[in-house]
A and B are shown apart, each in its own frame.
Chain A
Amino acid sequence: MNKFNLKKKLVPFFFALLGGFFVGGLCLICCGYDPINSYLAMLEGIFAKPKYMVQVIVKSAPLILTGLSVALAFKSGLFNIGAEGQYMVGLLVAALMGIKLSLPPVIHFLALFIAAVIAAGVWGAVAGFLKAKFGINEVVISIMLNWIAFYLHKYIFAQPWLLVRNLDASLPIRETARISIFQKFKETAQWKGMIAKNPLFSDIFKTDLNIGIFVALLAVILIHYFLNKTTRGFEFKTMGINHETASFVGMNVKRNTVLSMFIAGAISGAAGAIQITGVSPYRMTNLAGFEGYGNEGIYIALVANCSPIGCLFSGLFFSAIKCGSSLMQIKVGTPREIIKIITGVIIFFIAVPFLHKLILNYLQKKKENKLENTK
């Protein structure tokens, strides 16, 4: 029964995938690019070298986390469009603590990580609180909070004690706070020699390999466990489907609304923290607009059907096509913006859940007709 259910859930996803790449291909043809070569280059950009694969994994960590954040809120009946702002608050707090504090390694990261998670959690909980207390729609509040976070980022970034002149970037965070793996080893002479001998190692070491993916994995497992095994998770799911029943059976819907938004914010904040501590240049840059990790979380959660495990795979998938598109642009010259079209079409197909049924029915009928004709 379980297997059957899984199949039932995956079929529409693969249909959406096919649809996305098909429509994307049509667009490429219209613009005079070769879709097959483009897609092959994209695949190459994902799988051809271990470096690429590592890059996909590294880039997927913040996406998985923001996806998870949106998914958890969705499960409890809330639309966390504020993942972007929460991500930014997490990044900001982590950056400040990473630059200003001086602590031993590991402890430094743990301290700033916890602070970032709590700060972003509170940022999210503000929307939850206003919804619970005054019934204000969390979507509106979250969008406003996103902009507040954005300009807060700009304001702090503009402080002279943070800025490096002529670079348009902040000071880097201290090395004690960084979470890149093998960072130290790379610089020792002994390892340098070894890296030079072994191209596989040198390849991987060129990337920003960091522990972010393990944080994301841990979060996926924790949230999966939380939703399926704990009483609080049960309350979240109940109010997510039917909040009237939830209050009727004595659940504290208001408190859970705040709590849900807090946890969702915290997860997004974690994404921000691992991004600044794990990816070079370990600095804040002057933002022209939103980085988009939070907003990408929305469609990652949607494609994952709000399942935590699903977020893991959908995060990896979107990270993969993002990374693969770089090589596609370099090698074939196809503009990487095509992945936005593909993503859009995939979401469209997933949002129309009966579409794959229509197609399947049509194919079935055709098959039957053929059989009859041959008879």
Chain B
Amino acid sequence: MELERTEQSLLEHLPAKNVAAVSMCNIHKSFGKNHALRGVDLNVMPGTIHALLGENGAGKSTLMNILCGFYHQDIGFISINGKQVNITNPKMAIDYGIGMVHQHFMLVQTFTVAQNIMLGSELTKGIGVIDFKRANREITELSNEYRLTVNTKKKVLDMSVGMQQRVEILKVLYRGAEILILDEPTAVLTSQEANDLMQIMRNLASNNKTIVVITHKINEIKRVCDFCTIIRRGENVLTVHVDDYNEQQLGAMMVEREIVSVPRLKTTKSKKTILEIKDLVVKDDRGVKKINGVSLEVKAGEILGVAGVDENGQQELVEAITCLRKVESGTIKIHGKEIQNTTTKNVICSGISAIPEDRHRSGLVMKFSVAENMILKRYKEKPFSRCGRMNKILIKQFADDLIEKFDIRPPNCAEIPIKKLSGGNQQKVIIAREVSNNPDLLVAMQPTRGLDIGAIEYVHQKLWEQKKKEKAILLISLELNEIMEMSDRIAVIYNGEIIAVVEADATSEEEMGALMVGGGKK
């Protein structure tokens, strides 16, 4: 019923004379037994920014890979600007003016911007002599036209992630793309870079480029997108005009349930300090002071949020607490016992668990099974091992138990390699492991990075459960919303110093934003 209404409202918004820039009709695609797409329709109007919203594994990327010629659909047809086409390889997609900016950049680090952009379509004069002058000029012109402000002579390795992304955008524009597909473009960006990117997207759209954004960040969709197509388990639910819905409604449509933001649990006025950091100084690998005199306290039953822009010492702070990095001076105490510069093993035994920032790099062993990953911290405990001999049966039972308790999918996955699980479920495995040994302090670094909204909600609930159990939680996140929503108190880290600690109820996003860039510092 609601669906009809939206379809109608969508039609009202569309200028009748326009032909869709991209029209994908009844697309089916299966990989073996897995039916990834089951009749998806997508119509993108020229000059608009169109979001493709869906949970991890909903089929967004598959759909776009079909459009770009990486896969071929089983059933269905595609038309570009009203003309039916059959895209069989990526080269053809480029010829039709379709360009994709991947989540992971494909740039040669030691090449300059111009060299990277020319790669594969080099301008030559004479026989095989590259015409750098002309290329530089053309690329600079292009960059200025869309206000990308990229210096074409700079090497990619000297550029920030945000600038590298612009190079990628420039690359597809240089190849004459009229339809740009951006895959999770803000996932790797800082909030400032994300803002700039959204401005660029607007510029491009006003220059009559068509943009399709794959994302699961609803607030960004609200800010820049015109239309939004929601895909759920390989079927498209509906296409809506973004202005007609609020964030909660979009989120609910994506996950098929209402997102209820649980009201923050009031802190019980606990006096018991779990973690106490005093005058901490930590250097990074190059010997630069990354933490410079930080003092913090986390009490039982409290979530302390650490807000800040990336690269301000968050990483080093967590590494110091978990004894993965040497502390130059200062103390870290848990229950009044000093733990700095001991071993990670000792930290774990003292009751500290941690959710790492990068689950692939330091949280999981991707080739191991789910059960092996779950036992990683407790394999030496009885009864999982006796006299150095591991008991596989008990370990599997333990894993099965956690899989059920933490709702990890697919069920009975204890012996499957963890790399076959989705990102959200991998994160659940980490949380299950880190929470199941009942730690007094949980250090969570970016616990929801790269997760879809359903999984984010799940992680937040687990953090709240810890809080309810009177445990202390140190939450470090680059997402200000997350910090604001979850924390009782917020510490702002800037340049390796805590420049303010505020009550979450008594602050605003604006104030936090100013503090995070050092605005509050006297």
Contacts and interface: CB of A to CB of B under 8 A. Distances in A.
B377 A250 contact: yes
Which of A232, A244, A250 has the most chain B CB within a 10 Å cutoff?
A: A250
A137 interface: no
Interface in A13-29: none
A369 interface: no
B389 A248 contact: no
B389 A247 contact: no
A8 interface: no
A61 B253 CA distance: 65
Nearest to A1: B415
Given A229-B389, A230-B389, A248 B343 contact: no
**Most chain B CB within a 10 A radius of its CB, from A229, A237, A248:** A248
Contact of B366 (A230, A237, A242): A242
B377 A231 contact: no
A249 B355 CA distance: 10
A231 B343 contact: no
Interface in B240-275: none
A221 B74 CA distance: 50
B376 interface: yes
Interface in A249-306: 249-252
Contacts of A250: 343-345, 347-348, 377
Interface in B337-391: 343-345, 347-348, 354, 356, 361-368, 372, 376-377, 379-380, 385, 388-390
Contacts of A232: 388
A244 B366 contact: no
A241 B366 contact: yes
A248 B344 contact: yes
B322 interface: yes
B159 interface: no
A241 B363 CA distance: 12
A252 B363 contact: no
Interface residues on B, range: 20 to 34
B362 A245 contact: yes
A174 to B, nearest CB: 38
A229 B395 CA distance: 12
Given A248-B344, A250-B343, A238 B376 contact: yes
Contacts of B347: 250
B362 A241 contact: no
Given A241-B367, A244-B362, A249 B390 contact: no
Interface string B321-347: 010100000000000000000011101
Contacts of B364: 242, 245
B390 A231 contact: yes
Contacts of A238: 365, 368, 376
A354 interface: no
B89 to A, nearest CB: 18
A231 B324 contact: no
A313 to B, nearest CB: 23
A319 to B, nearest CB: 31
A231 B385 contact: yes
A247 B365 contact: no
A234 interface: yes
Given A241-B368, A245-B365, A248-B362, A231 B344 contact: no
A249 B378 CA distance: 9
Contacts of A249: 344, 348, 376-377
B388 A245 contact: no
Contacts of B376: 238, 245, 249
Contacts of A244: 361-362
B345 A252 contact: yes
Interface in A32-52: none
Nearest to B375: A234
B332 to A, nearest CB: 16
A247 B347 CA distance: 12
A250 B345 CA distance: 4
A247 B322 CA distance: 10
Nearest to B380: A231
B346 to A, nearest CB: 8
A288 to B, nearest CB: 42
A231 B379 contact: yes
Contacts of B324: 247-248
A144 B354 CA distance: 41
A298 B392 CA distance: 31
Nearest to A239: B365
B388 A230 contact: yes
Interface string A41-79: 000000000000000000000000000000000000000
Nearest to B354: A248
Contacts of A231: 379-380, 385, 388-390
Interface string A206-233: 0000000000000000000000011110
A230 B362 contact: no
Contacts of B377: 249-250
A51 B415 CA distance: 46
B389 A245 contact: no
B253 to A, nearest CB: 37
With most chain A CB atoms within 10 A of its CB, the pick from B356, B361, B365, B377 is B365
Contacts of B388: 230-232
A252 B363 CA distance: 16
A250 B381 CA distance: 13
Nearest to A225: B389
Contacts of A230: 385, 388-390
Given A231-B388, A231-B390, A248 B366 contact: no
A245 B426 CA distance: 14
Given A230-B388, A232-B388, A248-B356, A241 B365 contact: yes
23 contacts: A229-B389, A229-B390, A230-B390, A231-B379, A231-B385, A231-B388, A231-B389, A234-B372, A234-B379, A237-B368, A238-B365, A241-B368, A242-B365, A242-B366, A244-B361, A244-B362, A245-B361, A247-B344, A248-B324, A249-B377, A250-B343, A250-B347, A252-B343
Given A230-B390, A234-B390, A242-B366, 19 more contacts: A229-B389, A230-B388, A232-B388, A234-B379, A238-B376, A242-B361, A242-B365, A244-B362, A245-B365, A247-B324, A248-B322, A249-B348, A249-B376, A249-B377, A250-B343, A250-B345, A250-B348, A250-B377, A252-B343
Which 9 A-B residue pairs are closest in the complex by CB-CB distance?
A250-B345, A244-B362, A250-B344, A249-B376, A248-B362, A250-B348, A242-B365, A249-B377, A231-B385
Interface of B: 322, 324, 343-345, 347-348, 354, 356, 361-368, 372, 376-377, 379-380, 385, 388-390, 392
